[in-house]
Amino acid sequence: MASDAVDGETQTLTLRVSRDEAGKLGIGLNLSNRVTQLGLQAASGLRIWDLVIAVDQEDLGGRSLAETMQKKEQKATHELTVVRLTKAPPKPGAQHVLTDELLKQSPAMGAPWQARTFQLDGETLWYRAGDGVTKRVPLSTITTVRVVDHVKFEFHFNTNATDRTYKLRAHSSSQLYKWVTALQMQHAEKLDAENRASVHGKNGFQNAASLKSEYSTKSGVERTAF
């Protein structure tokens, strides 16, 4: 286990995980690439709630770990880069008000990054648009929150209300993971039983939506074990 950096309330680690005789790593993850089940990797140093941001030094770039691993050569051992909280996360559903300036990119192709004030308050994310109008995003509509580029402090979240991807950048690593953790803890990732996909193939992925997590959000969270 190698410790790469400690920034405020987070620590970045590189951990080696190995496959079993059946070719599986035995890790449970939610849609935001948070570890929900250690399985075979309890001795690797991996912990529940670690956020996976890269595998074999390849950034996930907004994809799930399952999607990334399916395109990689299967090896006996892989390196996972994870971000770990250095203190316990807030309890799901706890009242939490967070206000910060973040950089936001509009959906238009090639649009510049512009500073916007965001406030996370209870069940709603508020922000002030370029025309000065205050807009709201109900947390119940958010489906995934993922770190896209931990070097540029960039993260994205999607909503099922507008089928839109919000692209944001923080000003520091600590601000990035503060916002990602707050959003992941407070939003409701809803399961769609009819569209729940099982991922199979050479890497041994399978659906594990029924897994339980100490840090599960207010509604069910789809998880993938592999």
130 and 182, same structural domain? yes
Q: What is the CATH number of the domain that holds 69?
A: 2.30.42.10
What CATH number corresponds to the domain at position 115? 2.30.29.30
Mean pLDDT of the chain: 75
Looking at the structure, do residues 104 and 143 belong to the same domain, yes or no?
A: yes
Residue 59, judged by CB atoms within 10 A of its CB (0-12, 13-18, 19+), counts as middle
* Structural domains in the chain (count): 2
Please check whether residues 75 and 11 belong to one and the same domain: yes
Q: Quick one: 170 and 123 in the same domain?
A: yes
Regarding whether 31 and 60 lie in a shared domain, the answer is yes
Q: Looking at 36-40, 145-149, 173-177, 204-208, which range is the least confident one?
A: 204-208
Q: How many other CB atoms are found less than 10 A from the CB of residue 200? A: 12
Both 143 and 115 in one domain: the answer is: yes
At 212 the pLDDT is: 32
Q: Give the pLDDT score at 80.
A: 93
pLDDT in tens, 36-68: 888 877 778 888 888 899 999 888 888 888 888
Q: How many CB atoms lie within 10 A of CB 146?
A: 23
**Residues 167, 128 share a domain:** yes
Q: Is the pLDDT of residue 3 over 90?
A: no
Q: Look at residue 5 and tell me whether its pLDDT is greater than 90.
A: no
Comparing CA positions, the residue from 45, 49, 69 lying closest to residue 58 is 69
**At 202, which amino acid appears?**
K
Q: Measured between alpha carbons, how far is 109 from 16 in angstroms, rounded to an integer?
A: 38
Please list, in sequence order, all residues whose beta carbon lies within 8 angstroms of the beta carbon of residue 120, skipping any fewer than 6 positions away: 96, 97, 98, 99, 126, 179, 182, 183, 186
What is the domain extent for residue 179? 97-186
Sign of CA pseudo-dihedral 218, 34, 184, 68 = negative
Same domain, 106 and 28: no
User: In this structure, are residues 29 and 223 in contact, taking their beta carbons and an 8 Å threshold?
Assistant: yes
Q: Do residues 123 and 149 share a domain?
A: yes
pLDDT tens-digit series, residues 60-111: 888 888 888 888 888 889 999 998 877 655 555 555 678 999 999 988 778 8
- Say whether both 107 and 55 belong to one domain: no
To the question of pTM greater than 0.85 for the whole model, the response is no
Q: What tokens were used for 181?
A: 């953790």
Paired tokens of 23:
């070719």
Shared-domain flag, residues 6 and 82: yes
- 75 and 15 within one domain: yes
